[in-house]
Amino acid sequence: MKFMLMMHAPRGTGGWDVAEWKPEEVQAMVKFMDDLNRDLRTNGELVSAEGLTPPGEARVVRGGTNGKPVVTDGPFAETKEFLAGFWIVECPTAQRAYEIAARASSAPGRGGVPMNIPLEVRAVGTAPEV
């Protein structure tokens, strides 16, 4: 079985105020994550691990008229909703990611009617080099 382990950040910017950390604190955190990932990889348990950009950069995308993406500030769906699946895509621009999300959002539902499922679109972040 596979599991998605979603790291939740504190309320606010979602960044644990890392910008205010001392450089050695950031380096220690990054080293910890690198070590954890290496251990999981060695054990054959790591499929993929990525950090996400802060929630303020997320957008919710629905398929609109003629399949055009309707993009709104996110990042969070209503609390009664839950994460049902995800894609990781590689494309040159956020606009292209919105187009892909709009297409996925428009999956046919009951009677073939587009469901217009909300998809949260977030860029995958990169860790600082240690």
Q: CA geometry: angle at 56 spanning 105 and 87, to 5°?
A: 35
> ω before 75 within 30° of 0 (cis)?
yes
Per-residue pLDDT of 20-64, as tens digits, reads: 878 888 888 888 888 888 888 898 898 888 877 766 778 889 999
Q: Tell me the C-alpha distance between 113 and 130, whole Å.
A: 50
Alpha carbon 69 to its chain centroid, in Å, reads 18
Most confident of 1-10, 90-99, 116-125: 90-99
Higher-pLDDT residue of 62, 9: 62
pTM of the model: 0.60
Q: Which two tokens stand for residue 88?
A: 């990781």
Q: Is the pLDDT of residue 11 over 80?
A: no
Domain boundaries, the chain: 51-125
Residues 120 and 77: beta-carbon distance below 8 Å = yes
111: helix, strand or coil: helix
- Token pair 């040159």 is found at 92
At 16, the pLDDT band (50, 70, 90 cuts) reads: low
Q: Which two tokens stand for residue 118?
A: 């909300």
